[in-house]
Amino acid sequence: MGRRFLVALGSAALALSLAACSGEGAGSGGNTDSDKPGDLTIGVSMPTQTSERWIADGNAVKSKLEAKGYKVDLQYAGDDIPTQSQQVDQMITRGADVLVVAAIDGTALSSQLQAAADAKIPVIAYDRLIRGSKNVDFYVSFDNYKVGVAQATGLLVGLGLQNKDGSKGTAKGPFNIELFAGSLDDNNTQFFFGGAMETLKPFIDNGTLRVKSKQTTIEQVATLRWQQETAQKRMEDLLTSSYNDGSKVDGVLSPYDGISRGIITALQNAGYGSAAKKLPAVTGQDAEIASIKLINDGVQTCTVFKDTRLLAEQAVNAAEAFLQKKQPQANDTQTYNNGVKVVPAFLLPIVTVYKDDIKTALIDSGYWTAEEVAAGQAKK
């Protein structure tokens, strides 16, 4: 455990020079061949606890690694970039053997990742790609472009322009819609919005869908840190600025369930949700329990379910491969260019969940119980 001793001294530079002498290849893992799981620590850096999905992700990665005998250093950064940088620095100095990182800002961790590379610690980007660094060794996520396509498709289905099976719906439009995107510093945001807009474009071009506010660029519709309150405020502003002439919003593209709840609250506060003023179709992502209840109650149209249990499993597989000095198995080696290199990735499939899919996709699979869905709250 020479490297661990060295990094415990707190000097990345010293670790660099001595690791270089030891002849270990980059990304080959900081552990030695004799390491047992109990001697190995995986640092897991998660962005925030305000969204239940990241809590589930953190817990799932931790418990799966611990079940295999590894030690886990799990930290949440409270959506604060300096806090995440500091936590990752600490994981490195405390002697992590692999890092699993879901970044708040995909471009803000370059110096930490350099320190990790200097100490021969492989880095796995978790769900969000880390950009602008050559020191990202692997990426585990879902097919993020398809998430955007699924969200736009959910909007079309909610409006009746398309059926769930992909066939043409009976509705004709024109419909008023508004667009929301995620946080611009999250690499996924471009993929979600890109996939969605490509799907909606023909309907916007032929006048079936009208973005009444005319806010259509990703910069105009982004939501910093994916915050529900920020989305609620923007929806309130849109209602005031673009719908004070008696017109109604028929659909809202939302990239994440927390944002959807902010949008829905703004709409309900403005009188939407009655027979005379129906709530618009609203999409989402993450199958958060509060939103599953809203879908079950007919308030939100759909969500994109990304099974965090499977993602955690892939992160664990990748970490274990690195610890065994192997390369993790990728199923995409082309899509995720982080600005410096294409990062090999393992992408998982997604499932769109409408009201009548809740039982099969979420309850039968054990993701949520029927009681949790009815209550809109996770059981502790």
CB of 326 to ligand GAL, least distance (A): 27
- Dist. CA 345–CA 130, nearest whole Å: 12
**CB of 81 or CB of 204, closer to ligand GAL:** 81
291 or 296: CB nearest ligand GAL: 291
Separation CA 136–CA 338 (nearest Å): 9
* Three-class secondary structure assignment of 107-161: CCCHHHHHHHHHCCCCEEEECCCCCCCCCCCEEEEECHHHHHHHHHHHHHHHHCC
Closest distance to ligand GAL from the beta carbon of 217 (Å): 20
Question: Closest separation between CB of residue 203 and ligand GAL, Å?
Answer: 24
d(C-alpha 326, C-alpha 185), whole Å: 31
Closest to ligand GAL by CB, 186 vs 307, is 186
Q: Which is nearer to ligand GAL, 133 or 187 (CB)?
A: 187
Q: Judged by CB, which is closer to ligand GAL: 41, or 151?
A: 151
Instruction: Determine the residue with CB nearest ligand GAL.
Output: 226
Query: CB-wise, 46 or 99, nearer to ligand GAL?
Result: 46
**Residues ≥6 apart with Cβ < 8 Å to 211:** 176, 177, 178, 179, 204
Residue with smaller CB distance to ligand GAL, 286 or 307: 286
CA distances from 83 to 41, 46, 97 (A): 20, 11, 21
Question: Which CB sits closer to ligand GAL, 188 or 260?
Answer: 188
- We find the least distance from the C-beta atom of residue 186 to ligand GAL, in angstroms, to be 5
Residue 85 backbone dihedrals phi, psi, to 5 degrees: -60, -45
Contact residues for ligand GAL, defined by CB under 6 A:
51, 53, 127-128, 182, 186, 188, 226, 256, 285-286, 306
The amino acid present at 237, given as its one-letter code, is D
To ligand GAL, the closest distance from the beta carbon of 21 in angstroms equals 39
- What are the tokens at 35? 């390491």
Long-range Cβ contact pairs of 61-70 (< 8 A, separation 24 or more): 61/100, 61/126, 61/312, 61/315, 61/316, 64/312, 64/313, 64/316, 65/316, 65/319, 68/37, 68/316, 68/320, 69/36, 69/37, 69/38, 70/37, 70/38, 70/40, 70/41, 70/42, 70/319, 70/323
> What gap in Å lies between CA 162 and CA 294, rounded to an integer?
22
Q: Considering the complex, what minimum distance in angstroms separates the CB of residue 123 from ligand GAL? A: 17
CB of 306 to ligand GAL, least distance (A): 6
- The least CB distance from residue 50 to ligand GAL, in Å, is 9
Q: Closest CB to ligand GAL among 137 and 286?
A: 286
Q: How far is the CB of 222 from ligand GAL (least distance, A)?
A: 12
CB-facing half-sphere around the CA of 49: CA atoms within 13 A? 7
